Amino acid sequence: MTWSRRTFLTSLSRTALVLTLDDVLSLAQGSQVPSTPQIGSRPTYDAKPRPAPKGPPSPVAGTPLGVSFLDVARQSGLNAKTIYGGEHKNRYLLETTGCGVAFFDYDHDDWLDIFLVNGSRIEGFPKGQEPFSHLFKNNRDGTFTDVTQKAGLGRSGWGQGCCVGDYNNDGWNDLFVSYYGQNILYRNNGDGTFTDVTAKAGLTQPTTRWNTGCSFLDYDRDGHLDLFVANYIDFDIKTAPLPEAAGCAYKGIQVACGPPGLQGGKNILYRNNGDGTFTDVSEKSGMWETIGTYALSVSVADLDNDGWPDIYVANDSTASTFYQNQKNGTFKDVAIESGIAYSPDGKPQAGMGVSIGDLNRDGLLDIVKTNFAGDTDSLYVNLGGGNFDDHTYLSGLGVNTRFLGWGVGFFDMDNDGWPDLLMSNGHVYPEVEGTNVDAPYAQHKYLYRNLRNGQFEEVTAEAGPGINATAAARGTAFGDFDNDGDIDVAVNCVNSLPQLLRCDSTTGRNWIKIRTVGTKSNRTGIGARILITTQHEPQAKPFVQIDEVRSGGSYFSQNDLRIHFGLDLAAKADVEIHWPSGAIDKLPALAANNLYVIQEGGKLLKTLPMGRIESKTTEPKS
């Protein structure tokens, strides 16, 4: 038998043997990584990592950041408080997870609106006083208007996550909201209103499930968006353990009982039938044949560069899950073999949020995952061929272990062309507030600047009051809400008003945004890979950046579907789009500081100059 890293580790996963990372690397030394197989008519990407580009020098640690974040939620009109569990004490795990947020351009005017998922409390509310989710319309002047009731989205319940995609290919992005209880699929009617089509679409669940993170994806590349829904625990409040009876404690403080010992939920995959309905193919597709459970957040991307979307799931208190697409309608969990299931010393972690991006610009997508307090966050560098190395400590992320991370994102905060990192933090137990045994319940963010050499510098203290203000943060979304060319951040907090962290930049660097419109591919273009090439100096090697259009991610949230690339000082960029259908479009020398709406086939539908606030009544120019 020929031993590769993957076959070797697969054999370990079938035994009870647990080895450290050093043991595994020592035993597997000298193995050959199998080449990535070719597929159908769609070209595979180069599975070998490119050398990191040699461009402008790396920023020196301690140099001015050039950006500052200010929380403008109150002045912008985001006045809806998210209610979730008890404010000072929780008896059940259900009261701790919190809710997601979406940057969601529901009216397709290329100004980001905001959808905030809301929750509930165990004791309930009088009829008519229940908290409900909120949709805020962007007024294009830095403010928002609550249009929830007009839009038909005012539902109450234990809301969890949200994700966006045009499931019926009618040209309007639809909204899916996960719940503890019954999920909801809202069809966008194109007139500012939504219709609940859950039952009509075949998404009614026969039993109560604790649904968490979600993502639209076209896993079989048939042009219709399918739907993945993570599940946490098979939870029944009638039988759930109480802390006083079960003796559940955290550092001597009585708290709600965590997931270990409880029955984990089963993740769900719905296949789009192409007629507005879905079929549950979870078991058939291999979703249930995994080691990990207690699923929270999910992110979808082509992680092995074979042209097919894979699924990575952050699980609480157990191994993470890497559903590798087998290109035949099934998935296989290869997280252990790929090196992204456990911590470096082979231990399960309490994963919360997940984000995907090319941190070292080698053409391979890397993974960041937030974890529980007392542990580091995780950073996995893609080696190609579906294999990863844990670079948490090598990258500089291992310096922080005190806070508990939730929402997370790769995003280019300073438009230098290198993705930076932000983590939203907040404790899971309100009971720690006022004690001396641990970090506080409300916590500040972590912000890391990419040093362009595989390492990050923590710049939290220099990033402004929006980053340093404390909050019990959960869902976090990234997008340019004011269309000024830098990335802002929306945060849904527990038992508090949301945060809207406006990025104010003085760097003067350029950027470009791409919004995809599929024809043969799904209309939203989810799964499309975008390559941006810039030339900074006449004799220098071109800079190449990649990203993909994706639904869901972070923690229970939805980022801007317009893909943003920082260009540094480059005045133009060559754009190449690899569509899920296999088509490839190339648009050379597009001018910087514009949004381009590109239809599959290479047609430029809209060029929108940005970098300014418009009045409420001015329509964006095509």
Residue range(s) defining the domain that contains residue 532:
510-609
Task: Over range 242-256, report the average pLDDT.
Answer: 91
484 and 588 housed in the same domain: no
Note the pLDDT tens digit of each residue in 268-309: 999 999 999 999 999 999 999 888 899 999 999 999 999 999
Mean pLDDT of the chain: 90
Asked if residue 519 and residue 455 are part of one domain, the reply reads no
Confidence at residue 341, expressed as pLDDT on a 0 to 100 scale:
97
DSSP assignments along 334-381, one per residue: -HHHHT-SS-TTS--B----EEEE-TT-SSS-EEEE---TTS--EEEE
Q: 574 and 426, same structural domain?
A: no
231 and 273 part of one domain: yes
540: left (phi over 0), alpha (psi -120 to 50) or beta: beta
Q: pLDDT band at residue 618, thresholds of 50, 70 and 90?
A: very low
Per residue in 83-116, pLDDT (tens digit) is 999 999 999 999 999 999 999 999 999 999 999 9
Does pLDDT of 330 surpass 80? yes
Q: What is the pLDDT of residues 485-496, one digit of tens each?
A: 999 999 999 999
Co-location of 555 and 451 in the same domain: no
pLDDT of residue 60: 62
pLDDT at 549 over 60: yes
CATH code for the domain in which residue 598 is found: 2.60.40
10 located within any domain: no
Distance CA 120, CA 83 (A): 6
Q: Look at residue 47 and tell me if it is in a domain.
A: no
Same-domain check for residues 526 and 496: no
Same domain, 112 and 188: yes
pLDDT above 70 covers a percentage of the chain that reads: 88
Question: Which among 483, 505, 527 is the end of a domain?
Answer: 505
Decide if 616 is inside a domain.
Answer: no
- 456-468 per-position pLDDT tens digit: 999 999 999 999 9
The predicted structure's pLDDT at residue 37:
30
Together in a domain, 297 and 423 = yes
DSSP H or E segment with residue 284: helix 282-285
Backbone angles phi, psi at 336, to 5 degrees: -65, -50
Pair 408, 544 in one domain = no
Mean per-residue pLDDT, 551-577:
98
Report if residue 54 sits inside a domain. no
Is the residue at 306 inside a domain?
yes
Residue 342 pLDDT = 95
Query: Do 486 and 532 share a domain, yes or no?
Result: no
Count of domains observed in the chain: 2
CB 312 within 8 A of CB 321: yes
* pTM of model > 0.75: yes
Residue 402, in any domain of the structure: yes
Query: Of 477, 505, 533, which residue constitutes the final position of a domain?
Result: 505
Q: Is 177 inside any structural domain?
A: yes
Domain boundary (455, 488, 505) is at 505
State the pLDDT confidence band at 434, using cuts at 50, 70 and 90: confident
Q: Are residues 495 and 521 in the same domain?
A: no
Rounded Cα distance between 485 and 500, Å, is 16
Domain CATH code at residue 109 = 2.130.10.10
Rounded to whole angstroms, how far apart are CA atoms 305 and 47? 6
- Average the pLDDT over each of 54-63, 183-192, 470-479 and give the range with the smallest value: 54-63
List pLDDT tens digits, range 116-162.
999 999 999 999 999 999 999 999 999 999 999 999 999 999 999 99
pLDDT at 7: 45
Q: Which of 565, 546, 443 is nearest to 494 (CA)?
A: 443
Do residue 522 and residue 478 come from a single domain? Answer: no
Q: What percent of the chain has pLDDT over 90?
A: 81
Q: Is 561 domain-assigned?
A: yes
Confidence band of 365 (pLDDT split at 50, 70, 90): very high
260, pLDDT greater than 70: yes
| pLDDT tens string 25-73 | 333 333 333 333 333 334 455 555 655 554 455 566 678 999 999 999 9
d(CA 19, CA 322): 20
Distance CA 383, CA 360 (A): 11
Using an 8 Å Cβ cutoff, are 48 and 365 in contact?
Answer: no
